[in-house]
Chains A and B, each alone.
Chain A
Amino acid sequence: MKVLVGVKRVIDYNVRPRVKADGSGVDLANVKMSMNPFDEIAVEEAVRLKEKGVASEIVVVSVGPAKAVDTLRTALAMGADRGILVQTDEPVEPLAVAKLFHAIAQEEAPGLVILGKQAIDDDSNQTGQMLAALWGRGQGTFASAVAIEGDAVTVTREVDGGLETLKLSLPAVVTTDLRLNEPRFASLPNIMKARSKPVATKAPADFGVDITPRLKTLSVAEPAPRKAGVKVESVDALVEKLKELGVA
């Protein structure tokens, strides 16, 4: 079974984003960029499926600028087999990404597509669900466990009230939550091997997909800061405050 995995190049998880002074967006110049953490989990899951003999080939796809090839190489170093870069310098919304993935899924005919549940830059949490809709396949979002059984996949999902388990016929789309697995460190030999793994570069137009944004960002601002609080000197004082707040 072929597994298709999406990876996005985003601002590094540990970097605190700074809003540009003109309010046009977040300053990304010379900021450390890394693979979206949820996508790392997606790659790891695919690699584990391959190690178990369930997956035969892992194809990683990224939509983004030329530098996104570094993100693909990271995925290849973790164990993916080949990459597809859909190169564009324009901002791409989840709907357009889902359309591109849909086109690629039709060409590649994977048995399973694994995506991160959301990217930590725009926090949209849409692409997987949209791809499943366009492709007419089942979706197992926010997965904390994935098991392939024959022509179906059982997905345990992290939902507000606890966990929920669904069974989807394959092919299907799975999006990862944090606790699905802990991504491995790429080994040095695999980092070196990743250089020679094939990466195909395409353009959105190759798939006939119009990526014109549907949303216009009017402004981006820092969130309003909270007012500084007060120190409470003792537990007694805290009890008083809780009573004032009407919760005790």
Chain B
Amino acid sequence: MKVLVWAEHDNAALKDATLSAVTAGGQLGEVTLLVAGAACAAVADAGAKVAGVSAVLLADDAVYGAGLAENVAPLVAGIMGEFDAFVAPATTTGKNIAPRVAALLDVMQISDILTVEGPKSFTRPIYAGNAIATVESSDAKLVITARATGFAKAAREGGSASVSPVSGSGDAGLSSFVSAQVAVSERPELTSAKVVVSGGRALKDAQTFADTLYPLADRLNAAVGASRAAVDAGFVPNDYQVGQTGKIVAPEVYIAVGISGAIQHLAGMKDSKTIIAINKDPDAPIMQVADLALTADLFTAVPELVSKLA
């Protein structure tokens, strides 16, 4: 099977999400990586080195710079004439583009796959992860988004694919990029961090949230996340939210501080390798799923933890 994998990048660097998608694609067949962007040759070069990538297609054009779905989807659909499957990471970019590609190909997309069960069958979570469905496609071609939490990252080194240019139909004239407010952070990105420190409503307010959790995150070189309650209360911006309707994370270590563990939050982090919970209430749902549960007042326990990690 010939598999086209969408490379996620910012025109400069290849993002980790791509590496999981390469692994998912590799389980189906031979992987060709598509790098679409503007002045993004460096990304293509990085992609060529990824283990398991046998070829890289580079669509380097200003119209692809912002990753507008209206421009990118026809490009992908055009290339798909020679491929059997399209795999995109289940990021907001992948989720934005893949269904548009699927509709152009008259294919029913399979979203958020966790495992590859066969050439046409996959598992995927439904009902906020409360159930796992195994589905089989009857379409001639596959369009898939793959969850990073389900697939190991392919190695960034070890491949030696060739890069060849590809072009599409240009600007569809339907949309334009206006601006981006990218959260500037010294910390690792939430969905790819090895350690995540997350806070809930118990952190009281934005200042307390920052004063309490950021020193801990700094010590552990961790990304910072939050429950929906903390986001809704305005402690941190939207893109910190972990949960069914926020980000799905699966770090090595997830530290939940003052989070009770509503089911919608658990849906976003329960695939973490080790879950640590610090909570005053020993009966909080988070304490039931945690691998390590510390019953303590977070306002004394977290500063103590920070000082002892020094």
Interface residues of A (CB under 8 A from B): 11, 16-17, 19, 26, 93-95, 98, 120-134, 136-139, 141-142, 144, 154, 157-169, 172, 177-179, 213-223, 226-239, 241-242, 245, 247-248
Contact = CB atoms under 8 A, between A and B. Distances in A.
Given A169-B174, A235-B296, A126 B109 contact: yes
Contact of A158 (B97, B112, B238): B238
A222 B96 contact: no
7 contacts: A94-B99, A120-B128, A165-B178, A214-B107, A223-B125, A235-B301, A242-B253
Interface in B169-195: 173-183, 189-191, 194-195
Q: Determine chain A's interface SS by DSSP, over half rule.
A: mixed
Contact of A139 (B92, B100, B177, B182): B100
Contact of A26 (B97, B126, B178): B126
B42 interface: no
A39 to B, nearest CB: 14
Contacts of B289: 226, 229
Contact of A126 (B111, B131, B180, B304): B111
Contacts of B162: none
B253 A221 contact: no
Given A127-B99, A217-B135, A226-B291, 18 more contacts: A95-B109, A122-B126, A123-B126, A129-B100, A136-B174, A138-B174, A141-B96, A142-B95, A160-B93, A160-B189, A160-B191, A218-B136, A220-B133, A220-B134, A221-B132, A222-B132, A232-B293, A247-B253
Contacts of A166: 68, 175-178
B111 A123 contact: yes
Interface of B: 68-70, 73, 91-93, 95-104, 106-112, 121, 125-139, 173-183, 189-191, 194-195, 219-220, 228, 237-239, 244-245, 247, 252-253, 263, 270, 274-276, 278, 288-296, 301, 304-305, 308-309
A126 B102 contact: yes
Instruction: In the A-B complex, list the 4 residue pairs whose CB atoms are closest, starting with the nearest.
Output: A214-B108, A129-B99, A133-B103, A130-B103
B295 A231 contact: yes
B269 to A, nearest CB: 11
A112 to B, nearest CB: 14
B220 A247 contact: yes
Contacts of B125: 123, 223
Contacts of B239: 158-163
A125 B127 contact: no
Contact of A129 (B69, B107, B189, B237): B69
